[in-house]
Amino acid sequence: MKEVVVLGVGMHKFGRFPEKPVSQMGREAAFMALDDAGVDFKDVQAGFCSHVHQGMGTGLSVFGELGQNGAPVTNVEVGCSAGTRATILAAEAISRGVYDMCLVVGVEKMAGGLVGLQGAEKSYNELMGIMLFPVSVALAARRHMHLYGTTREQFAQVTVKAHKMARLNPYAHYQIPLTLEDVLNSRVIADPISLYECSPNSDGASAVLLCSKERARRYTSKPVYLVDWQCGTPVYTRGEPQLSEGATRQLAQALYDSSGLGPEDFDLVQLHDSFTPREVMLIEELGLCPEGGGGPFTMSGNTDLCGKIPVNTDGGLLSRGNPLGAVGGAMVAEIVWQLRGQAGQRQVRNAKVGLLQNSGYGGEDIMIMKV
């Protein structure tokens, strides 16, 4: 198996761009990644395009903007984890020697309002609204509060921290400060979750260029390695209420076992904070703090930029934004910038190893990168 390197990354700012097509945003992110790596597009052997609501053929449109070079293009749709799943598919192909260089581009333009499932047969829970994303997370949050004494203030602190981080990120959708009172006093969406505890619907694009270690030697003497990865889906009985999405804990343990790395080795973490309770629960499931201790751990500043383990240093989904197909690539890009020492004012000191976790409707991905 070949070692995989993240050679280049790029982003188009997340926000609202009603007049700008996804193909143009994707092109800008892709050329940024290619320029970052010093690679010509003609050397890319395969393309992967992650998106969710853009329709059939989006990948061909995006890569067509780069000037078709004959490489195959695969569209990937796994909800919010589409970008990380596309990255894993590219990494798998490189590690097995199928390709030496792959380009992953994630794009999305989002409608307003609640994001629902498309083209899926509706279960009873979905028809009753229980499976609307803020509702399902709110149910899990209430159970977490009941079991462990977690408070609304502890959940809300996640947003306060996210907005503080995002103000240092030029690619973030939201760059405004929020206080704990601002979050708690915003209108309720699904009790106990308020408006500012929900990630925004954003437009944007991201790109990740991967290659084999051997190929990377031509371009860099300080590579960022994609060390190991796991992906999977939850295991549960249909209709059973879930305190978590079910797969994180198992996938994390499998990744730690296979890589020989664990929570004590990570200098920063990127995770899927679509709603504030998700971050509190995920840091427990990833083993970053004791089970049930996510609320106090967060409130004490342990996940801040200068905390014990910085989480979502770019503002996360809550403030950087949540253009579904582009989220995964943005998470990869942030870890790469941190490991290279290129994160500017939000730089984590002496960052060497990063953990990434991403969730989507249809799967969950987790990976480790290091220098």
pLDDT for 239 = 54
> What is the model's pLDDT at position 233?
83
- Boundary (domain end) residue, out of 210, 226, 242: 226
Mean pLDDT of the chain: 93
Instruction: Report the C-alpha gap between 292 and 149 in whole angstroms.
Output: 8
Tokens (6 digits) for 57: 């053929």
**What was the pLDDT predicted at 115?**
57
How would residue 361 be classed by pLDDT, with cut points 50, 70 and 90? confident
Instruction: Say which of 49, 80, 198, 231 is annotated catalytic.
Output: 80
**Residue pLDDT, tens place only, 50-101:** 999 888 889 999 999 998 788 999 999 998 899 999 999 999 999 999 999 9
**What pLDDT is recorded for position 113?**
54
Which pLDDT does position 349 carry in this prediction?
Answer: 97
Q: Does the residue 102 lie in any domain?
A: yes
Residue 231 annotated as catalytic = no
Residues 66 and 170 in one domain: no
Give the per-residue pLDDT at 131.
57
36 and 184 co-located in one domain: no
Q: 66 and 134, same structural domain?
A: no
Domain shared by 352 and 327, yes or no: yes
Burial, 180: exposed, middle or buried (Cβ in 10 Å; 0-12, 13-18, 19+)? middle
Collect all residues with Cβ–Cβ distance below 8 Å to 153 and sequence separation of at least 6: 180, 184, 299
State yes or no: pLDDT of 363 exceeds 90: no
Within a domain: 116: no
CA atoms within 13 A on the CB side of 90: 38
Q: Per the structure, how many domains does the chain have?
A: 2
Following CA atoms 269, 216, 208, 134 in sequence, which dihedral angle do they give, to the nearest 10 degrees?
A: -20
Residue-number span of the structural domain to which 257 is assigned: 128-198+228-370
319 falls within a domain? yes
Contact between 88 and 229 under an 8 Å Cβ cutoff? The reply is: yes
Quick one: 222 and 233 in the same domain? no
Cα gap 238→236, rounded to integer Å: 6
Which tokens belong to 128? 């009753």
Report yes or no on 118 lying in a domain. no
**CA atoms 266, 211, 334, 49: torsion sign:** negative
The answer to whether 115 and 327 are in contact (CB under 8 A) is no
Whether 174 is in a domain gets the answer: yes
Please give the residue that has the higher pLDDT: either 360 or 307. Answer: 307
H-only helix segments in the chain: 22-37, 58-64, 82-95, 124-127, 133-148, 152-166, 180-185, 213-216, 248-259, 276-285, 294-299, 316-319, 324-340
- pLDDT of res. 243: 54
Mean pLDDT, residues 338-344 taken together: 98
145 located within any domain: yes
Better pLDDT: 264 or 239 = 264
Rg (CA), the chain: 19
Residues 92-112, mean pLDDT to the nearest whole number: 95
Structure confidence by residue, pLDDT tens digits, 210-227 = 999 999 999 999 999 999
CATH number at residue 95: 3.40.47.10
Q: Is the pTM of this model over 0.75?
A: yes
Tell me the per-residue pLDDT of 165-208, one tens digit each, with 9 for 90 and over: 999 999 999 999 999 999 999 999 999 999 999 999 999 999 99
Whether residues 149 and 286 share a domain: the answer is: yes
72, 134: one domain: no
Segment 119-136, tens digit of pLDDT: 555 554 555 455 578 998
Say what the pLDDT of residue 194 is.
Answer: 98
The predicted model gives 96-124 an average pLDDT of: 77
For residues 185 and 242, membership in a common domain is answered with yes
Query: Would you say residue 123 lies in a domain?
Result: no
Residues 285 and 341 in one domain: yes
Which range, 72-81, 109-118, 230-239, 356-365, has the best average confidence (pLDDT)?
72-81
Last residue of a domain, one of 226, 241, 275: 226
Distance, in Å, from the CA atom of 316 to the CA atom of 283, rounded to the nearest integer, reads 14
Q: Report the C-alpha gap between 325 and 319 in whole angstroms.
A: 16
97 with 214, same domain: the answer is: yes
**Same domain, yes or no, for 12 and 157?**
no
What is the model's pLDDT at position 242? 55
Strand ranges of the sheet holding 353-360, from the earlier edge strand across to the other edge? 73-76, 46-50, 101-108, 203-212, 4-15, 224-232, 363-370, 353-360, 268-270
Considering only 67-76, 255-264, 306-315, 350-359, which range has the smallest mean pLDDT? 67-76
Which residues are CB-neighbours of 33 under 8 A, at least 6 positions away? 8, 9, 10, 103, 207, 208, 209
**Are both 180 and 245 inside the same structural domain?**
yes
Q: Is the pLDDT of residue 338 over 90?
A: yes
The distance of Cα 318 from the centroid of its chain, to the nearest Å, equals 11
Q: Which residue has the tokens 């309770």?
A: 277
